[in-house]
Amino acid sequence: MAITLDVNGKPLTVEAAEDTPLLWVLRDELGLTGTKYGCGIAQCGACTVLADGAPIRACLTPVSALGSAKITTIEGLGGDHPLQQAWVALDVPQCGYCQSGQIMSAAALLEQSPKPTDEEIDGAMAGNICRCGAYQRIHAAIKVASGQAPATASPQTDA
């Protein structure tokens, strides 16, 4: 069935069954491979994208459930988003696998709360797992991107 999605500001038509998870449409049909498959049960956050600005798990969201929602993937941030700049400045990623999902969850947070508290950051990021344990650097990068810390901020060393 032909389904039209608004992805990164562009209307794109794909052939997919209604129950096809958005993740596979993004990766296999549209070639947007920045969104990662992690667990397949919406528990790790690697597949996080935004639907109308809210974080969703693309691994379990069927394309038929999206309607006219505006989908934003990591590619839609353009590479120069303040979060992406902070991630680079603070050398956040280790393996990097979870980072697109982490950044997308953080982007939704900053849209909702441009100067988030530590508690808001912890709450918004709680559903994103980093197997490398870079949580302190992720937290610090969000503070930098929100203008609450200098780009030279040095997070505590991850254990």
Distance CA 40, CA 84 (A): 25
Q: What is the model's pLDDT at position 81?
A: 97
Whether residue 56 is contained in a domain is answered as yes
CATH number for the domain harbouring residue 20:
3.10.20.30
CB atoms within 10 A of CB 15: 10
DSSP-derived letter for residue 156 is P
Beta-strand relationship, 2-7 and 54-57: unpaired
The two tokens of residue 12 are: 């794109």
Over residues 136-154, the pLDDT tens digits come to: 999 999 999 999 998 876 6
Q: 41 and 89 in one domain?
A: no
Q: Which among 77, 92, 118 is the end of a domain?
A: 77
Whether residue 155 is contained in a domain is answered as no
CATH number for the domain harbouring residue 133:
1.10.150.120
Helix (H, G, I), strand (E, B) or coil at 54: strand
Q: 71 and 86 in one domain?
A: no
Q: What is the model's pLDDT at position 138?
A: 97
Q: What is the model's pLDDT at position 159?
A: 41
Say if residue 111's pLDDT is above 50: yes
Among 56-60, 95-99, 107-111, which stretch is predicted with the lowest mean pLDDT?
A: 95-99
Q: Note down the domain range covering 67.
A: 2-77
Q: Which residue type sits at 42?
A: A
